[in-house]
Amino acid sequence: MLKTSRTYHYPAGRNQWQTLLNSVSFLKNPIKVISRNMKRFGGTYSAALMSKRRFILTEDPAFIEYVLRDNHSNYQKSELSAKTAARLFGNGLLFSNGEFWLKQRRLIQPAFHLQKIQGLQQIIATTVQEVIAAFPSGEKVDAYALMQKLSFTVLIQSLFDIDLSFETASELSRGFTDLQDFLLKEINQPYRKLFYKVNHAERNILRKAKKIKAILKAIINQRRSSTGTYHDLLDMILHATYENGEGMDEEQIIDEILVLLFAGHETTANTISWLLYLLATHPSDAMKLRASISKISIFESPKDNYIQAVVSETMRLYPAAWMTDRVAVHDDCFGPFSYPKGTIIIPFIYGLHRNKIHWKDEGRFDPERFMFSDPAQRKKVKNFFPFGAGPRMCIGNNFAMTEMAFILYELVKNFEFSPTGDIPVMWPLITLRPKNLFVGLRRITPAVS
């Protein structure tokens, strides 16, 4: 039985004034502030903004599973970031809720089944090989810039397996980065909104969003009038039908494509950038990887035990989705806590992945934790949610694991990595972006036989 409004039992935590006082350091480094509070309050705490609404932040795996999986029907994505994002990126899967979300998820999910991703492998592998072949050698490189370009190109090619002109590809990439940067500023520095009318920032960005949509529309129309055969994501999306046999309208197709680009490009770029840093600073693991890939082809890499373990351990230490959020639709309770509808629950994935109760030597990069004689075990690892959990779990996880394995394979096959002495820092925006992440890259000259 749920309590009346006067008897809710929130976890201990920060009141409105403490939250306000903390807000400057929070905006500067949310992971540090949340981690400090987690330690103080034992893994779950509450915070309050000036509105009556409370937040509950948790790194308790049981609470996280309760919200994301066991009682998921009582939780929706919070409108805090979703509403802002939807204005620029439309009403795609990531930003929708309720019946509409379910209908869209059922429609799009089949395109991301493992068998379908296997059909995309050739496109992903060729793109990865082409982009990596042009990487610089003998230099200190900005790993994030390289990986962002790589993951964007892979996603664009997987969506549209056509030769986009250089101008169109650049316009898409530039425009998309502008939209993302604008969204980040809006979420992290909400006071900027006050100036939008004066400096026309809002009008300009909406114009850019319109331009991107026009490019996508032209690509879709070109495809619809083509008689060729395609095996890309666009083909699967265009042929997907609802239960009544109808497909999506053009506007919704564009929104879903935008969401795939939004959700799939930076998450992968961040993970692979951190992975490069870890390999540059852990040469013995890089050597082990080199030995592992010498016996297999690129297409076998997604099943390779050690490659999977290295990627998983990277996502444990640097989960691209470092937190997520849900809002309670009805009053609810978990363990000793009870809270009213409207409460925002924040699963703090980063904290859980680095919690010493669950992970021995929690800060150490140790891929051995994820080595299993039966690969099916990897999907059952406890206290590990890089792709979320429950019905809203990442739809692109098979795609991402395949892509990251291919990238890792090609990088290790072609390059040696070295540390540069620069210390990267975590920049927790919507995803856990690295800042100042430089790596030494030297192309391995193939031995002359």
Q: Which residues bind ligand HEM (CB under 6 A)?
A: 93-94, 105, 259-260, 263-264, 267-268, 271, 320-321, 324, 386-388, 392, 394-396, 399-400
**Closest separation in Å from C-beta 229 to ligand HEM:** 22
**Closest separation in Å from C-beta 95 to ligand HEM:** 8
**Closest separation in Å from C-beta 61 to ligand HEM:** 15
Residues 369, 361: contact at Cβ < 8 Å? no
By beta-carbon proximity to ligand HEM, the closer residue of 394 and 437 is 394
* C-alpha span between 231 and 351 (Å, rounded): 40
Q: Is 138 left (phi over 0), alpha (psi -120 to 50) or beta?
A: left
Per the DSSP assignment, residues forming a β-bridge with 142 are: 438
- The enclosing H or E element of 18 equals helix 16-28
* C-alpha span between 193 and 202 (Å, rounded): 8
| Helix extents (H) in 50-200 | 61-65, 79-89, 98-108, 114-133, 143-159, 166-188, 193-199
Residues 107, 99: contact at Cβ < 8 Å? no
**Closest separation in Å from C-beta 311 to ligand HEM:** 8
Residues 325, 344: contact at Cβ < 8 Å? yes
**Closest separation in Å from C-beta 400 to ligand HEM:** 4
Cβ-closest position to ligand HEM: 396
Beta carbons within 8 Å of 4's beta carbon, 6+ residues apart:
none
By beta-carbon proximity to ligand HEM, the closer residue of 19 and 96 is 96
Beta carbons within 8 Å of 374's beta carbon, 6+ residues apart:
none
By beta-carbon proximity to ligand HEM, the closer residue of 69 and 140 is 69
**Closest separation in Å from C-beta 257 to ligand HEM:** 10
**Closest separation in Å from C-beta 259 to ligand HEM:** 5
By beta-carbon proximity to ligand HEM, the closer residue of 321 and 411 is 321
Closest CA to 342 of 353, 355, 326, 357: 326
Give phi and psi for 311, each to the nearest 5.
-65, -45
By beta-carbon proximity to ligand HEM, the closer residue of 307 and 320 is 320
By beta-carbon proximity to ligand HEM, the closer residue of 34 and 394 is 394
> Could you tell me the sign of the dihedral formed by the alpha carbons of 328, 329, 333, 337, in that order?
positive
By beta-carbon proximity to ligand HEM, the closer residue of 384 and 416 is 384
By beta-carbon proximity to ligand HEM, the closer residue of 95 and 182 is 95
**Closest separation in Å from C-beta 94 to ligand HEM:** 4
How many CB atoms are closer than 10 A to CB 368? 10
